[in-house]
Amino acid sequence: MKNELKTVSLLLLAVILVGCDRPAPSETAAAAPSPAPTDIASAPLSDVTPGTATSDNPGNEREIMIPAGPFIRGSNKVDNEGLQQRYGFVTPLYLNEHPEHQVTLPSFMIDKFEVTNAEYKRFVLATHRPEPPAWIQSGYNVYDHYLRNFDVDRLRMIATDYFNLDLNPTALDKPELLDALFAKQAQRDKLAVTAVTWFDADAYCRWLGKRLPTEAEWEKAARGPNGNEFPWGDNWAQGAANSGENPHQEDDESIMPPGSFPKDRSYYGVFDLGGNVSEWVADIYQPYEGNAFNDPNYTKQHRVVKGGGAGMGHYGLSTFFRAARRAHTTPERASTDVGFRCARDISQFNQIQPKQ
């Protein structure tokens, strides 16, 4: 994972926002009311069919039910191409995926899309959990009513140094600047959230009455009943997933709104399991039964990260976007190309109460 966040905040913006880190609770209710986190909590289970979204309204589809049954997990793949030596990778490729084996899971629910910035911001506002450091560095943590109170010179500085607007702020008056800044924030709202630790992701899902998917659940949702190499099939298809291959994209533009790549859709209808952002899952990184690879990280209490991320850019190889691939890191790490989605047991389906 690249772009690991530095822990030192940007001093200048911190000075600007002293006392303005987030609205008071009364302001929060007026400025950003929390809609129901899921629109399917009261749907009868009999209305949910396996491998389909859990809402009859395509605009509100949030979750997919993955049916019970076996799937192919892991692989027996070896590095016949010599990629480790060619690119200087420290760890051998594929060996922690061994051996390929069959796993049977009960049915479960998984989010159709990755969690977005806007969804995670509602959680931050409701629980007062610290914001991702990347929000401070980009200005995403500045709320609209604070921007309205800034003078035009300060808005121009923020637009230049933090929002990275593709325009000349000195040529704009205050209303024009505000329009541009609000538009940028609205665009960011739709992006998959990143720069969250495993603990942040776990807390968000629990706040909704859900949980992080297990590694096995994530891989089944991605590979389908036939053990696909990629969510869409066995062959890499350039442009099918958001792999950061666009040479005109800057680092802060590589992540896209979930669902932007319709071909990155698994057999069951779950999106972006191939690319966009890599994703935290629940499991501690451990060897599969029968695995002969002596990875010292098996003893370090790392958490598993699944899926490829657009932040890999031109360094990305198709092998990094395979559904069987097992990445891992410390749960305290927050990376700008790692996000998450939530899951839950079928027994929880009718127990979720909307957050008010």
3-state helix, strand, coil in the chain (%, to 5): 35, 15, 55
pLDDT of amino acid 51: 56
Query: For residue 210, with 0-12 CB atoms within 10 Å meaning exposed, 13-18 middle and 19 or more buried, which class applies?
Result: buried
Predicted local confidence at residue 133, as pLDDT = 92
pLDDT at 271: 98
Q: Which two structure tokens, joined as six digits, stand for 221?
A: 């949702």
CA distance 123 to 104: 33
Question: Tokens 């076996």 label which residue?
Answer: 70
Structural domains of the chain sorted by starting position, each given as residue range(s) with its CATH number in brackets: 11-33+118-189 (no CATH), 69-105+212-340 (3.90.1580.10)
Residues 264, 172: Cα–Cα separation, whole Å: 40
Cis bond upstream, residue 130 (ω within 30) = no
Helix (H, G, I), strand (E, B) or coil at 35: coil
Residue 75's pLDDT is 98
- Spans of the chain, pLDDT less than 70: 1-60, 246-253, 312-316, 348-356
What is the per-residue pLDDT for 315?
A: 55
Residue 138 CA to residue 158 CA, distance in Å, equals 9
pLDDT tens-place string over residues 115-144: 999 999 999 999 999 999 999 999 999 989
Cβ contact 205:237 at 8 Å: no
Q: Which two tokens stand for residue 190?
A: 């739709």
SS3 category, 102: strand
Helical packing angle, 152-161 and 174-189, nearest 10°: 40
Q: Model pTM?
A: 0.82
Q: What is the pLDDT of residue 164?
A: 85
Buried b / exposed e along 241-279 (16+ C-beta atoms within 10 A): bbbbbeeeeeeeebbbbbbbbeebbbbbebbbbbbbbbb
Beta strands per DSSP E along 49-174: 63-66, 69-73, 101-105, 108-111
DSSP letter at 336? T
Q: What is the dihedral of CA 352, 258, 89, 199, to 10 degrees?
A: -30
